[in-house]
Amino acid sequence: MSSRQDNTGDASRASPDQNAFPAYFELVPGELTARVYLHEINSPDGPIPCWSYVTDGMWAHGQKELIFTLRRGRGEKASDFPEDPFQFFVAVHGFAARGQLVDAGDISQFGGAGLLGYEGLAYIRPQPFKAFEVSSPALAAILLTEEELVAVKEFGITRVMARLGQAYHYYPCPPWSDRTRSGLPLIERMQESLLARTHRIRAPGVRVRLEGNQILLRLLPQASPNLQSQLGQLPSNVSLSLLTELDPVADGCLVWEPGQSGPVAITPPNSDGSRLAGCFMAFVPEQAEDGGQLFEDGFVMMLTDASWMTIRQALETRRAVSVPAAKTGLSFSMEWVAEDYENPVDGLTYHSEEGWETYSPEGPRADESGGPVDVKQVILLTSQGDLETRVGTQPLTAYIEAIRGAVQDHFAALAQGPGQELHLQFEVQPEGAVDLKMASQPGIADEILQGLYSDLLRLRTPEVNRGPIAFQIVFAIWGGSATS
């Protein structure tokens, strides 16, 4: 079924050594190949030696490429990687050729002996590895026990991911599969969960997180058909739980197991946990007043009938809605995330099936604090995963703060003028070169922008590796912005 080549391209059945990776396999002649990479993953418990199997050829059928990472056992040589995953890749490729695709949140169950002793696996969004990059859209696949598969079906993939992350001290969950691990005990007492007592809807593209005292539910357009069809079949007074994906903007995730006395969350290194993702969003109507709370590993919004109807209609018609808390509970806000971004800087339309991630800064607005500029939002034109691999959160944050300071200083020295909106677009190359584009509305004088342009290009850029990064910052110029 497969032929092996070392990384020089010469066909060989010899066992590769550590210098002969990635090892290359042709699985379906002319259509599907796979490479096996030898690398380590840093974890709080020490480096994890791994093999990562990466396909090439799925995307031709609309199926995202697959990444399957397997922990090397103690005493296993570099050349001892199992070839069982190749048969699985061929099967997925065959299904894809017939139009049967899998995506993040889906599962595959195996008959017979399973795959490497496991009953099935789940597909999740891939985490970036320094050892390799995948140019096409991709999914990661992680092995699950039979009990874990049942838990995914009943309560969603995010709850299981968070429990694995907690068990292995790795946020949001370990990207590797360990053939020796014990399965998580997830089902026996899960009937104690609120989710077991509410109607549950799983729709791709539904995410929820907590910011301050507000529950923020964010939905991609792809969630709409599923929500519309299922909501239309439910009575108006039924309690409802949406099983959510991990919000990519979150810097932590709630985790729960029966008997837990209070909220618990897992977070990545250096996180302050200010944007905690939830594994579900529950709505409970027929209440005397509105108010939300953390519950288990998700959020519950207690609602009056009028507020519930407003939210329900917004879910069916793709509208934004906000519900303030009546007293001390959490408020609620729901927004639909655009997949297309009309870029005012270059006039192009950018599309992302994951939606366009924008970040609004915390703290007082510039007009409230007396400063001439305010960062309205930061728009990422490079995916979250690629940013983590190529530059990291802290260096990028420091660079954006330096840009903000330069813009602040530049406009502080100018005379007061009418309000403006300034868009700055940066593309930073690994060698440090910066491509900077500007656009303003209604229009800042060219001589003013030229001075700012020079100031910004003098800023020290962060160290960027393995490909460029691009982002856009939108400023509101409250004063000092003379028009042309």
Domain edges within the chain: 3-177, 190-336, 340-477
Q: What CATH number should be reported for the domain whose range is 340-477?
A: 3.30.500.40
Closest residue by Cα to residue 288 from 320, 315, 327, 322: 327
Q: Which residues have a Cβ under 8 Å from the Cβ of 357 and sit 6 or more positions away?
A: 248, 249, 379, 380, 384
Task: Give the pLDDT score at 365.
Answer: 40
Task: Give the pLDDT score at 366.
Answer: 37
382: helix, coil or strand?
coil
Pairing of strands 340-342, 349-351: antiparallel
d(CA 423, CA 475): 6
Counting other chains too, the contacts that 254-257 makes at CB distance below 8 Å and 24 or more residues apart are 254/162, 254/278, 254/279, 254/294, 254/296, 254/297, 254/298, 255/162, 255/163, 255/165, 255/166, 255/297, 256/159, 256/162, 256/193, 256/296, 256/297, 257/163
Q: At what angle do helices 157-168 and 146-155 cross, to 10 degrees?
A: 130
CB 280, CB 244: distance < 8 Å: yes
**Strand spans (E) along 312-433:** 321-323, 331-336, 340-342, 349-351, 358-359, 373-380, 420-428
Closest residue by Cα to residue 344 from 472, 457, 453, 220: 472
d(CA 143, CA 278): 23
Closest residue by Cα to residue 223 from 231, 215, 211: 231
Output the pTM of the full model: 0.79
Q: How far is CA 6 from the centre of its chain?
A: 34
Specify burial of residue 307 (Cβ count, 10 A radius: 0-12, 13-18, 19+).
buried
Query: Using CA of residue 338, residue 340, residue 341, residue 342, what is the dihedral sign?
Result: negative
Task: Give the pLDDT score at 329.
Answer: 92
Residue 472, beta-bridge partner list:
379, 425
CB 154, CB 190: distance < 8 Å: yes
CB 229, CB 344: distance < 8 Å: no
Which two tokens mark 414?
A: 């100018």
Which residue carries 């907590």 as its tokens?
210
Q: Any idea what DSSP says for residue 129? A: B
Residue 48, beta-bridge partner list:
41
Q: How many helices and strands in the chain, by DSSP H and E? A: 9, 27
d(CA 336, CA 338): 6
Task: Give the pLDDT score at 285.
Answer: 95
Largest CA distance in the chain: 76
Q: In this structure, which amino acid lies at residue 402?
A: A
Q: What CATH number should be reported for the domain whose range is 190-336?
A: 3.30.1360.220
Pairing of strands 298-302, 280-284: parallel
Specify burial of residue 473 (Cβ count, 10 A radius: 0-12, 13-18, 19+).
buried
| 10-residue mean pLDDT series, the chain (484 residues) | 38 50 95 96 93 96 96 93 95 96 93 86 89 88 94 94 94 94 83 90 93 94 90 90 92 91 90 91 96 96 96 93 91 88 75 66 43 82 77 84 91 70 92 90 82 92 88 79 42
